[in-house]
Structure 1
């Protein structure tokens, strides 16, 4: 696996892929380790997770620089990502025991009925490059603490991150085999899921990848959780605080170079405030610094790979040819590296690529709508259903509209984000299942009913 620094286009590292024999050994190790790991008390597992959080904090600059070199995330955002991983470790170190406590149920006199939560076994995680630490810890912190063991198939452009995460758990004192990174191509994933030693799979990624994992897992009756793409609406109503909406919206679209499933992508603005919002939105976006991701003043670094930037620009170009108007940006930046500028498009023709497909980069589409009902209709006019953001000074109005939005999570006067304290996941083509909070730790467990007479 060759690692190419997207800010320069230079190959900076090469890693040897694991062989099929290595995978077999890893599966054997995971199975053997699980037999002991599942018997450890939750409190023991919580203490190890707390130590993993400490390891992350102690080495956050090193891990952040690995992210930045491999996929171009600006260094300040990379440091924040490591800190967020430590936070999710803290959360489950504190709350896992509570989440996993047995639940009592009504029962006849003289009997007790409870649901116990027991781990399933080895779980395969297929994870993306865009948040190369957070996506992994979002699954690992709860699933390992519930008593499962993890196998990570990370994206092929972030192998250094994959191995660094494995080192975090090793340094924290986890037994060998509780968490293993597999540097393998995607064509080995189906065989791993089909293997009897693997009891479940979770994937964060594209729709086609999710369908492939779900199909194989379904054939073998394996549990899956899928967090797929998104085309999140950002609704600005006539009573919104325009300054706050524009400032937050600009960041919600361009954080991580716009390479986020939950980025705000379709800005749906009430006609009464459309011009004011667009002006403020353009000002905010034009203020961002695009440049060297190792420079702490940089807001937006390179796109992660050349082919991804080319695909994004093709979506923009086809949409402009169909009639969309470029307000700012719209062309790759003529400099070393894979850089694309923050871009705003208006007058979006229905069905063009930026209207109907997910755009995975710093490209915002802005729509003008006449009223609240049209805003909701446009927000729901997508195959995706991951997140949504609504902006209004009337909190009751925001909550009422939130109930009409087809999405796994809706935020009022806030950007869409994942938080250890709240369940996270999507509907429709954005996947199924939930991560984080109590819901997340209970995805890969046996909810065993125990009736004692």
Structure 2
């Protein structure tokens, strides 16, 4: 059941019925019709202009939008409002860069014939979006595809029905026609049916590794293009610095963003032995000073999320890990920020993603040991390297099996900066030029001499 359940209080505010099969059929028919009519006959400039209007609406409505996800999934209000505004920035970036990023690509070929690549839409694309960034994730998927000339069927997380409807309204109010963007409260069985339908040409999922494996299997079976943005257990490497306070501040920010519920949050803090003791003391004090009452973090998104995280930490403790800060005793869905240490490779938590305000702290004796530890994870999304010697930092970054390396600071994402990972963090890219091209038909044109 799709429902708004305030994670801070447990109150069920409103429930929404699952879509009927007839509603799913109407969504697919409408999206397909919009693709064959509007998307194919409108110009790139016209579609980009509509996206710019959507960007303006995200920002105009940011306070209202922020309040919605504050009660849906518990994001602190200032972060919730900021996310809505950032969704506007993302949509605007695609609108402003569309002509450049989708320009025809002239090819120099041996026979001298005029040859170029033209990027066009491919049809109806299904988006399966997560609860942790309800606006940001949708904007970075839907906006570039609408500009490209695809149409969208959007299935949001079950705990985010109100924000799902608010996003659909934004694209409608911006002037996108009926069927260009259709929200559906689909069941898992209906998702499988949508993927199997010949009217659908691609699917993009942001979610768990388990969900990604299911969707990839279904998409592969029906020969549909698939983009997956899955979990992460990002490293935060502290190798060499004259400003340990800077490193600590960014480690805390990287771990506590969105109450620790970010796929590319800094989950494994890896510190060279030279700095370890001093860093550990400062990090314990800083992360222990985070306050729920002051709004530094919010509740976890749901009772099931809280139960799952608590079980993971308890398992780690039973296997021999130690808690430096925290108590693994949540108050409702409010989970005290926690630091685990003495984690060894034989423990389950060593290879898991902890989706909440729990950091793993490791000590290493060399860059090589740090790289080996970093790459031992089954995930490969992002990383942060703190090192005053930027050439050394870049050399280390070259050897990390990840999709993104931020040098000198956490939080270097941007509205036009590509995002994505490798290994079990998924495949494909979102944001930037690469994100705009994922569901493009890169059509070849050649002219006889």
Which deviates further from its counterpart, 178-187 or 367-376?
A: 178-187
1:324 corresponds to 2:321: yes
**Corresponding residue number in structure 1 for 2:33:** 32
From 84, 87, 95, the equivalent of 1:85 is: 87
1:363 corresponds to 2:353: no
* Matches of 2:349 and 2:137, distance apart in 1: 26
5 Å-filtered alignment, 1:302-451, equals 302-334=299-331, 337-416=332-411, 418-451=413-446
5 Å-filtered alignment, 1:170-209, equals 170-209=172-211
Compute the displacement of 1:240 (Å). Answer: 5.5
* Matches of 1:430 and 1:313, distance apart in 2: 23
* Matches of 2:349 and 2:257, distance apart in 1: 18
Give 3-state SS (helix, strand or coil) of 2:41's partner: coil
**Corresponding residue number in structure 1 for 2:14:** 13
Compute the displacement of 1:420 (Å). Answer: 2.6
* Matches of 1:402 and 1:449, distance apart in 2: 36
Structure 2's unaligned 5+ residue stretches are none
Divergent runs of 4+, >4 A = none
5 Å-filtered alignment, 1:40-439, equals 40-107=42-109, 111-239=113-241, 241-291=243-293, 297-334=294-331, 337-416=332-411, 418-439=413-434
Compute the displacement of 1:419 (Å). Answer: 2.2
Give 3-state SS (helix, strand or coil) of 1:266's partner: strand
Compute the displacement of 1:109 (Å). Answer: 6.5
* Matches of 2:228 and 2:169, distance apart in 1: 26
Change beyond 3 A, Cα 1:241–1:353: farther
Compute the displacement of 1:352 (Å). Answer: 1.9
Which deviates further from its counterpart, 407-416 or 117-126?
A: 407-416
Structure 1's unaligned 5+ residue stretches are 292-296
* Matches of 2:116 and 2:129, distance apart in 1: 34
Compute the displacement of 1:272 (Å). Answer: 0.5
Q: Aligned-residue CA RMSD in angstroms?
A: 1.2
* Matches of 2:346 and 2:149, distance apart in 1: 46
Give 3-state SS (helix, strand or coil) of 1:38's partner: helix
| TM-score (structure 1 length as normaliser) | 0.96
Compute the displacement of 1:110 (Å). Answer: 6.4
Give 3-state SS (helix, strand or coil) of 1:273's partner: helix
* Matches of 1:236 and 1:185, distance apart in 2: 44
| TM-score (structure 2 length as normaliser) | 0.97
Instruction: Answer yes or no: is the 8 Å Cα contact 2:288–2:338 preserved in 1.
Output: no
Which deviates further from its counterpart, 19-28 or 33-42?
A: 33-42
* Matches of 1:351 and 1:190, distance apart in 2: 37
Q: Deviation per CA, 1:237-282, whole angstroms, max 9, x where unpaired? A: 1336311110011011011110111000011110010011111111
Compute the displacement of 1:346 (Å). Answer: 1.0
* Matches of 1:330 and 1:185, distance apart in 2: 37
**Corresponding residue number in structure 2 for 1:4:** 5
Give 3-state SS (helix, strand or coil) of 1:118's partner: strand
Give 3-state SS (helix, strand or coil) of 1:199's partner: strand
